[in-house]
Amino acid sequence: SDLREQEERGELLQPLIFVLLVLCSVLLYFKVSLMDPGFVKPEEEPEAGEAEGQSLVIPQATGDVKLRRCGYCLVKQPMRARHCQLCQHCVRRYDHHCPWIENCVGERNHPLFIAYLSVQLVVLLWGGHVAWSGLYFQQSWEWLQHNIFLLLSFFLIVIFTIVVLLLLVSHLYLISCNTTTWEFMSHHRISYLRHSELENPFDQGIILNLWRFFC
């Protein structure tokens, strides 16, 4: 492959960058997987409504929508929070529970989750290129025996690349609209969205939505 040839020639810059990217993606995975995604704690209840009001634009025509107490963990839920049955906690600005990281994606780890997907996509694209560069196609059984694992690796990389790319694009689209996966999929079941005159009352325009999310 290209990286192997560069390593043999003593050109270690690109192999080193590739290894660092892989290491970075692994560290981001564990960081997103193990960190608190924004669990609502009982001691935060008195200030939950105030903090949520300062960080978000409250939807129009939501005067009748009140902060409700979770029926599972009994904490008062801020707007856009939801209880996760798998984590057994209410999560602020709940997006979804990701089986890939075995954790919720919420207010605190959502930006890092996007960073993880971005780095992972770069690693997969580069890894696909490296695998392809090591393949020299010949119509013989001997060639297949020597290249079967590299060929399988390439196809697996292609599949994972498509999955990560679609996931990243969908999340960036939702972020640009200032909505979450849960709100997008369950709009008709969420009280503060059903009672709003606007389809998405949190939308402040693409630039401001991205700024508020990442900065």
- DSSP letters, the chain, are -HHHHHHHTT--HHHHHHHHHHHHHHHHHHHHHHS---BPPGGGHHHHHHHHHHHSPPPTT-TT----B-TTT-PBPPTT-EEETTTTEEETT--EEETTTTEEE-TTTHHHHHHHHHHHHHHHHHHHHHHHHT----SSHHHHHHHHHHHHHHHHHHHHHHHHHHHHHHHHHHHHTT--HHHHHSGGG-HHHHT-SSSSTT---HHHHHHHHH-
Strands 96-98 and 103-105: antiparallel
Contact 15, 3 (CB under 8 A): yes
Choice among 70, 73, 98, 215 that is catalytic: 98
Torsion of CA 93, 27, 35, 86, to 10 degrees: 80
Q: Is 98 a catalytic residue?
A: yes
Give catalytic residues, as residue numbers.
98
